[in-house]
Amino acid sequence: MGQSALSKPLSAEEFERLHLRQHQWAQIRRTFTQLLSHLLILLVGLFFLIPFLWMLITSFKSDRDVFRTPPTWLPYDNVTVKIQGQELLLYHVQIEGETKELALLKVAEGLGDFVDPQNPEMVYSQVRMRFAEPILKVGLRWRNYIDAMSRATRPGLGVNFWTYFKNSLIIAFFTIIGTLLSNSPVAYAFARINFPGRQAFFIFVLATMMLPYQVTMIPLYLFFNETLHWGDSFLPLIVPAFFANAYDVFLLRQFFKTIPEELADAARVDGASELDIFLRIMLPLSVPVLATVTVFTFLYAWNDFQGPLLYLTSPQNFTMSLGLQDFKGQRIVAWNLLMAASVVFTVPIIIAFFFAQRTFIQGIKLTGLKE
């Protein structure tokens, strides 16, 4: 390969050097582009990642920490001390020009009572709180999660975030059951039963996707609330799931069509009814797509805001979507607790994602594109 007889022959050595240099150059260029693209991916990734981290960090911050300007990256927690079995917050208190490390006993109208941890007999009462600065250390304030979940933000009703969590779970569970039960027979009919008008019927079902829900929203609201008296219950949110919908019918039908017909034919020869074939052959073979439907229905029900906003009126029945608003006070928002509750709201979905990553991606593609 070295000795090509061109007009200006290169010595073998020279050629080797040139070739090597070219090779190195290409190598460097490739490494550089690789590095650059990697950097770009990382940089754009920060846009997706940082808000996530910010949610977590905020959820571990103390109340005071949250409103610091500029905000701190790390969460700080109050330093506490145990005096006579009571957990008290430590403060740096300025008294007569001296800074003392004292524990707060109680506070009222800007005046606080402090006690010296070294000498519990020594109580300083009626100290102005503006002379007291809480002592903080870097730390995760797990207490926020307990507070966010169990603190009754609506006193007197016995309602807390656990109630909302439970309600969301109940609604999601029954919505999933309804969706699985109602959509699969419909999809089966479109995939396998050769009834007259099937094609037109199917197009008609798909066409209903075009209808924005705002068109049916008002009459449905009146129907559920005034006619059936289902207002302030989970029924308006759950019952429609038992009557199939175009998206899931489409998704399931696409999958059912990929299952070989021969299996069903063999069963037919053995005298199996269509219902037998559907239940004993089709469904067991369709576990992956049923999983996709389950995951996406869960996401939908867990996420839903407008449905609960319309139908659920008393806090006992709120879902998490509605309940998150509780952390918003008249003037200030308890951002640390709100973020802790948001994490709790998000975690089940993240868990579902990591267990069913494939199912997620498959579902997006199936609903999106594949014919």
Partner 1 sequence: MQKMDSVVSQSHGKPVRWSKKTRHNFWLGMAFLAPWSIGFLLFTMYPMGASLIYSFSEYHLRAPLKWIGLTNYINLFQDKLFYTALGNTAYMVVIGVPLTLLLSFFCAILLNLKVPGQSIYRVIYYLPSIVPTIASTMLWLWILNPSSGLMNTLLGLFGIQGPNWLKDPLWAKPSLILLALWGMGGTIIIYLSGLQDVPLSLIEAAQLDGASWWQRLIHITIPMVSPITLFNLITGVIGMFQYFAQAYVFGNTAGSIGSPLNSTLFYSVYLYQTGFLFLKMGYASAMAWILFFIILGCTILLFRVSNRYTYYSG
**CB 250, min distance to partner 1, A:** 11
**CB 273, min distance to partner 1, A:** 9
**CB 104, min distance to partner 1, A:** 24
Which residue number, 160 or 336, has a Cβ lying nearer to partner 1?
Answer: 336
Which residue number, 109 or 354, has a Cβ lying nearer to partner 1?
Answer: 354
Please give the Cα distance from 362 to 100 (Å, whole number). 62
Task: Please tell me the number of Cα atoms within 13 Å of 141 on its side-chain side.
Answer: 27
Which residue number, 49 or 95, has a Cβ lying nearer to partner 1?
Answer: 49
Residues 256 and 292: beta-carbon distance below 8 Å = no
The closest alpha carbon to 249, from 209, 282, 304, 284, belongs to: 209
The closest alpha carbon to 144, from 64, 85, 50, belongs to: 64
Which residue number, 49 or 122, has a Cβ lying nearer to partner 1?
Answer: 49
Greatest Cα pair distance, the chain, in angstroms, is 104
**CB 317, min distance to partner 1, A:** 16
**CB 121, min distance to partner 1, A:** 40
Please give the Cα distance from 162 to 177 (Å, whole number). 23
Q: Which whole-number Å values give the CA distances from 60 to 57, 95, 288, 323, 324, in the listed order? A: 5, 31, 38, 20, 17
Q: Which long-range contacts (CB under 8 A, 24 or more apart) does 22-28 make?
A: none
The closest alpha carbon to 249, from 336, 189, 315, 332, belongs to: 189
Which residue number, 285 or 309, has a Cβ lying nearer to partner 1?
Answer: 309
The phi, psi pair for 119, rounded to 5°, reads: -135, 80
Beta bridge partners of 138: 76
Which residue number, 6 or 43, has a Cβ lying nearer to partner 1?
Answer: 43
**CB 106, min distance to partner 1, A:** 28
Which residue number, 127 or 238, has a Cβ lying nearer to partner 1?
Answer: 238
**CB 186, min distance to partner 1, A:** 4
